[in-house]
A and B are shown apart, each in its own frame.
Chain A
Amino acid sequence: MLTLENISRRVDSQDYLVDISLEFQRGELNILLGPTLSGKTSLMRVMAGLDRPDSGRILFDGESVLGEPVQQRDLAMVYQQFINYPSLTVYENIASPLRVAGLAEAAIKSRVAQAADLLKLTAYLDRKPGNLSGGQQQRVALARALVKRASLVLLDEPLANLDYKLREELRAELPTLFAELGAVLVYATTEPSEALVLGGKTACLSEGRVEQFGPTLTLYRDPNTLMTAKLFSDPPLNTAAVKGMNELQRFIGSSDTGTLAVRAHHLRLASEIPTASTFEIRGRVDVIEITGSETFVHLQFMGQPWVAQLDGMHTFRPGAEIALEFELDDCLLFDDNGVRVRKPSGGRI
């Protein structure tokens, strides 16, 4: 178990990490989700011991590891860039942590063979990493992290620089690869969809702060703050300032103000006869993007850019007014501080 207690780090009077407290269990997949510069890499470097936090404690299985040199920590790390030792062969690259640890040649051989087999690198063991494709290079880095059997594995956007197809493939394999190790596995990503596919637990990071930490699906479906909801939305979350929050149908008339948020896929074309459970909006179309099975309609609603993700192909003229609707149960409400407002009845409004 890895415990971070009130970790803060400033560099050149700029906050990299602000008062971060997290607890990661062994054998679980922990995801750090946030946009670039949200502090994911900074946090990983602190966890790895490459950087020192200005304040706070890091405990591994209850013992402080702060100040322990990187070499003595039992960890493995994979970077976003494909980092291997260019002068060594793939075999020696994978074997490198085992050689340093002083394992017997036979043990090294069997472990490397096993890792190479898992990551489909057996045919390339005699090559130099420079002669491999990007995906294979990253596999080498993953294999090196795997053979070490470390109790802390940090993966810093390991799939970000890979092409779509390879990413899909490796993403499916990754959790199972490391699951058997019983290690604390931390995975950083900028993509909400990646976090959702991987599952596990997610910590949403924004500007060096943890917005929310919990099971990935819960965070997606039931975010506590507007920031978490925004971080967990791709395409971007649709928001509008509202008054009279408890009576959504009548926006005007109450002094309560806040933010209404609807995910793009919860919007659909308005039906002819409005029902009590839906709410209709009207906006002006800016652009439409058709991917084939889906149509993304970018529109202006109450002065805000909104996106609707509609099934099938639709063509609207830019500038045309269209009517969309969403289920009231699907929308999220936040007060002026960005904190979620829930209905006492337990419904989602």
Chain B
Amino acid sequence: MTRIRQGEGVEMKESISSVVENKLKSERNWLKVAVVTAYIIFLLLPIYWLLNMSFKTNQEILSTFSLWPRDFTLANYATIFTDPSWYSGYINSMIYVLMNTIIALAVALPAAYAFSRYRFLGDKHLFFWLLTNRMAPPAVFVLPFFQLYSAFGLIDTYLAVALAHCLFNVPLAVWILEGFMSGVPREIDETAYIDGYSFPRFFRKIFMPLIASGVGVAAFFCFMFSWVELLIARTLTVTEAKPIAAVMTRTVSASGLDWGVLAAAGILTIIPGALVIYFVRHHIAKGFALGRV
């Protein structure tokens, strides 16, 4: 005859309840994983489809529905990398985007420093007014830009697009940088001056490392806006500085739309943005924490 002592019974009960609990937990976990997976698939589906198409031939794209390329080809990419009318689009875009980012930061850094450190007549109004520039859709400014740049002979130059994009990027960069700069105590500036630093030396040696995240985040947003903006870039360019997005909209040939090449171009357009995001992802989190992104 076996007797279950009190203690053992309790133990058994405990182990049973823990098994049930674990089961419930694992079911809940399973649900979590399923929801997240479904969401990610939903998000990535268009990108996957683009990638899928870029490795197919036009014939396959148009004739059959296939989840992966049956007739795998790199011809679409080859077209882009060998045809100057395609790859020059990327080069043009890169040039004016970089120009724009550099100009925007060069202008925004001193402006943000002034807004964060000094009080002057109408500073708050000016700060707000800067932001209102971003409230108008870019299309509004297309006409005045075209007229103005025509008068100065700037049409179809990199500078034209870079400067036009500054209208939107400088305010944003000032706004972001001001937040980061205001996070640095003013006493650090003063201590540096007391130590004997001149302003330029202080700014370079002491201040810049402290707002490096902010510069990274501001550069990222300038880059992304300029990279994806189509309307102004297309209007202000003809052939010499034509951006990739504009090239992509003009691919209707005699034989119809070149789907495969277009998809490959799309993939190549995503890559630079993805790379930049990868490099500044931690800084962007910091920017969110400061409430300025």
Contact = CB atoms under 8 A, between A and B. Distances in A.
Interface of A: 48, 50, 69-71, 73, 75-77, 79, 81, 83, 85-88, 96-97, 100-101, 141, 144, 148
Cβ-closest 9 pairs across A and B: A87-B209, A100-B196, A97-B195, A70-B193, A83-B187, A83-B191, A79-B187, A71-B196, A77-B194
B193 A81 contact: no
Interface string B198-220: 10010000100110000000000
Contact of A70 (B185, B188, B190, B201): B190
Given A85-B206, A86-B210, A100-B201, A77 B191 contact: yes
A73 B191 CA distance: 13
Contacts of A144: 191, 195
A71 B187 contact: no
A71 B198 contact: yes
B197 interface: yes
Given A85-B206, A100-B201, A76 B187 contact: no
A216 to B, nearest CB: 27
Q: Which one of A88, A96, A141 has the highest number of Cβ atoms from chain B below 10 Å of its Cβ?
A: A96
5 contacts: A70-B190, A71-B194, A75-B194, A83-B185, A100-B196
Given A48-B194, A79-B187, A100-B197, 19 more contacts: A48-B190, A50-B190, A50-B193, A70-B190, A70-B193, A71-B194, A77-B190, A77-B191, A77-B194, A85-B188, A85-B206, A88-B206, A100-B195, A100-B196, A100-B201, A141-B191, A144-B191, A144-B195, A148-B195
B140 to A, nearest CB: 40
Interface string B167-194: 0000000000000000001011011111
A201 B210 CA distance: 39
A70 B190 CA distance: 9
Given A71-B198, A100-B197, A100-B201, A85 B190 contact: no
Interface of B: 185, 187-188, 190-198, 201, 206, 209-210
B210 A71 contact: no
Main secondary structure of the interface of B (DSSP, over half): helix
A77 B193 CA distance: 11
A79 to B, nearest CB: 5
A87 B196 contact: no
Nearest to A100: B196
Contact of B192 (A69, A75, A79, A85): A85
Nearest to A141: B191
Contacts of B197: 71, 96, 100
A87 B187 contact: no
Given A85-B206, A87-B206, A87-B210, A70 B194 contact: yes
B210 to A, nearest CB: 6
A186 B51 CA distance: 70
A76 B206 contact: no
A194 B69 CA distance: 80
Contacts of A73: 194
A87 to B, nearest CB: 4
Contacts of A141: 191
A81 B195 CA distance: 17
Nearest to B196: A100
Nearest to A72: B196
Contacts of B190: 48, 50, 70, 77
A100 B192 CA distance: 10
B192 to A, nearest CB: 7
A48 B187 CA distance: 13
Contacts of B188: 83, 85
A301 B256 CA distance: 101
Contacts of A77: 190-191, 194
Given A83-B185, A83-B187, A100-B201, A76 B209 contact: no
